[in-house]
Chain A
């Protein structure tokens, strides 16, 4: 790692002020950023830790919605939303491994928007609201492509608000070495319709599979997916799988998610 200064503010206001410095960068749980720094792929002058800020921590279970503080670690989400939103808890409880889940945060994951990360699928399929230090962004407007989001410099995810669906499931096909999603599909059924979000598969990062959404909104059953295929165009092709393989997996994982959610 290159050298950097480290600050750990205890209020959001102090964090935003600290992020105003030249070459400052926010540090969530560090489970992605620290490895990145070790590779010398980033060289911030100042790291601003977000782990000491009380107002960014914790989970609020409200009427039909769940609000999760941006600096809340995956392990807390896995434990605390298990009754209210089991599919989201299961997703959080399967990220990385237990030690990683004790540090990694929801805000960090969404801010990084790794094309193979799990949380973007949950946020997009749930039509979540990304609450930042200066506005609220609908998930549909938030994800802008691989490692790219609507966040501006110095803007922090303070919380994420999830409307609780009637039924939902996340199915992840793990890349066996990294355990990241080779393809992950989150299906969520709301009174207004079904949303299907796919992570891991596409070159532009997480996306909604609208054709499947239309079919599943009319008939929430695996049969509704017959005759629908996810196009291989724009899918990631690498040594772990071809574009066609990933496209195929999208459908398989969607079907499994519908079966799990409906069952």
Chain B
């Protein structure tokens, strides 16, 4: 076992891990942040997306020890300081961007990464960016709409499908 230390949502987090411990296992099982989901465990679905040093990564496909010393943010760190939903989360609620909610933490983290790179994405750009995030429920339209809305763009132009 090796000691790993990182900053998670601004708080120091330390634990003993094996070489093979995945970042997602460290987050969920060791520090109890179960908002990050494991949908596939094979880097397809994106339910496990977190940010490491500001970049979206699939935490099921990164070793915990690779994040030693890194700044990690997860879905638990997304709400505003007063506990209200942030603009992306609120837009998901307003536009019914979730049904069962399983994919939602990854969707929100991917959306946050996208809007950081590209604050006013087009519908196509949003769809392309979400290539690695799979949702079994919504058919994506409302997720795309929510991200459009979160970026401050008019969603009336999106076809109601």
Residues in A lying within 8 Å of B, measured CB to CB: 1-6, 8, 27, 30-31, 34-35, 37-38, 47, 49, 51, 75, 96-100, 102-103, 179
| Chain B residues near A2 (CB-CB < 8 A) | 20
Nearest 10 A/B pairs, CB to CB: A97-B132, A6-B19, A102-B55, A1-B20, A97-B131, A99-B56, A99-B58, A6-B65, A4-B19, A34-B61
- How near does chain B come to A178, taking the closest CB pair, in angstroms? 9
* Interface stretch of the complex, out of B28-36, B42-50, B76-84: B42-50
Bound together, the chains give a CA A40 to CA B126 distance in angstroms of 35
User: Is there a chain A Cβ closer than 8 Å to B113's Cβ?
Assistant: yes
Closest to B109 in A: A99
14 more A-B residue pairs beyond the given contacts A3-B19, A49-B66, with a C-beta to C-beta distance below 8 A = A6-B20, A8-B65, A30-B61, A31-B43, A34-B22, A47-B19, A47-B63, A99-B132, A100-B61, A100-B132, A102-B56, A103-B58, A103-B62, A179-B131
- Report yes or no: A5 in contact with B62, Cβ–Cβ below 8 A: no
User: Known contacts A98-B110, A98-B113, A99-B110; is A6 also within 8 Å of B46 by CB?
Assistant: no
Bound together, the chains give a CA A179 to CA B68 distance in angstroms of 31
- Report yes or no: A6 in contact with B61, Cβ–Cβ below 8 A: no
User: Known contacts A8-B66, A49-B66, A97-B131; is A103 also within 8 Å of B61 by CB?
Assistant: yes
Residues in B lying within 8 Å of A, measured CB to CB: 2, 18-20, 22, 41-43, 46, 49, 55-58, 61-63, 65-66, 68, 110, 113-114, 129, 131-133
- How near does chain B come to A79, taking the closest CB pair, in angstroms? 9
Q: Label chain A's interface by main secondary structure.
A: mixed
Bound together, the chains give a CA A38 to CA B65 distance in angstroms of 16
| Chain B residues near A97 (CB-CB < 8 A) | 46, 131-133
- How near does chain A come to B130, taking the closest CB pair, in angstroms? 8
- Report yes or no: B43 in contact with A100, Cβ–Cβ below 8 A: yes
Closest to B56 in A: A99
- How near does chain B come to A151, taking the closest CB pair, in angstroms? 23
Bound together, the chains give a CA A51 to CA B65 distance in angstroms of 11
Closest to A1 in B: B20
**Interface pairs (6), CB distance under 8 Å:** A49-B63, A49-B65, A98-B113, A98-B114, A100-B43, A103-B58
